[in-house]
Amino acid sequence: MSRTMDCREAQNCITPFIAGTLSDADLEAYLAHLDTCPSCLEDLSVHYTVELGLKLLSENDPDAEENLPHAFDQALARARRHLARRHRLRYIRAALVIGGLVLAAAGLVWYAVSSGLLVL
């Protein structure tokens, strides 16, 4: 279960979110907070758009003006996809571990039965 985050903690996540350096746990808590807090979502949107705008201006990108309005939504969608992928990988890893344990247990039973240690 993901932990909850208050507005003060969320403020501290703005810069690392934009830099892409939030841990998965912090990213999950931050995105969950943004879902319930329009004020922090607005803060991030403003910071993100200003920062990206400055970056695009300094790169003198002719498409910058077109990209800017959608960039924030795309960044949020990217972060959510990243987390969803991580969650899927965690389930797959857990399934593999459980599968491995079941196989190991079956192997032990087979060994015990075939060597006469266990009579069914």
- The nearest distance, CB 12 to Zn ion, in angstroms, is 11
Nearest CB to Zn ion, comparing residues 14 and 40 = 40
Q: List residues binding Zn ion (CB under 5 A).
A: 7, 10, 37, 40
Nearer to Zn ion, 44 or 75 (CB): 44
Return the closest-CA partner of residue 37 out of 16, 70, 9: 9
Angle 7-19/38-59 helices, nearest 10 degrees? Answer: 20
Minimum distance, C-beta of residue 13 to Zn ion, in the bound complex (Å)? 10
Q: Please name the residues in contact with 49: beta carbons below 8 A apart, sequence gap of 6 or more.
A: 68, 71, 72
At its nearest, how many Å lie between Zn ion and the CB of residue 22?
16
